Chain A
Amino acid sequence: DVVMTQSPLSLPVTLGQPASISCRSSQSLVYTNGDTYLNWFQQRPGQSPRRLIYKVSNRDSGVPDRFSGSGSGTDFTLRISRVEAEDVGVYYCMQATHWPLTFGGGTKVEIK
Chain B
Amino acid sequence: EVQLVESGGGLIQPGGSLRLSCAASGFTFGGYSMNWVRQAPGKGLEWVSYINSSSSAIYYADSVKGRFTTSRDNAKNSLFLQMNSLRDEDTAVYYCARTLSGTLDYWGQGTLVTVSS
Interface residues of A (CB under 8 A from B): 31, 35, 37, 39, 41, 48-51, 54-55, 60, 90, 92, 94, 96-97, 99-106
Interface residues of B (CB under 8 A from A): 35, 37, 44-47, 50, 59, 61, 95, 101-110
Chain B's interface: helix, strand, loop or mixed, by majority? Answer: strand
| Least distance between B105 CB and chain A CB atoms (Å) | 6
| Least distance between A72 CB and chain B CB atoms (Å) | 16
| Least distance between A77 CB and chain B CB atoms (Å) | 18
Q: Identify which of A39, A54, A55, A103 contacts B46 (C-beta below 8 A).
A: A103
Q: How far is the CA of A31 from the CA of B105 in the complex (A)?
A: 19
Given that A49-B95, A105-B44 are known contacts, is A96 also in contact with B110, CB under 8 Å in the complex?
no
Q: How far is the CA of A51 from the CA of B4 in the complex (A)?
A: 15
Q: How far is the CA of A97 from the CA of B103 in the complex (A)?
A: 9
Given that A48-B95, A48-B108 are known contacts, is A103 also in contact with B47, CB under 8 Å in the complex?
yes
Chain A residues with CB under 8 A of B104: 39, 41, 49, 51, 94, 96, 101
Chain B residues with CB under 8 A of A39: 102-104
| Least distance between B85 CB and chain A CB atoms (Å) | 20
Given that A48-B108, A48-B110, A99-B59 are known contacts, is A54 also in contact with B47, CB under 8 Å in the complex?
no
Residue of A whose beta carbon sits closest to that of B47: A101
Residue of A whose beta carbon sits closest to that of B4: A48
Given that A54-B102, A106-B44 are known contacts, is A101 also in contact with B50, CB under 8 Å in the complex?
yes
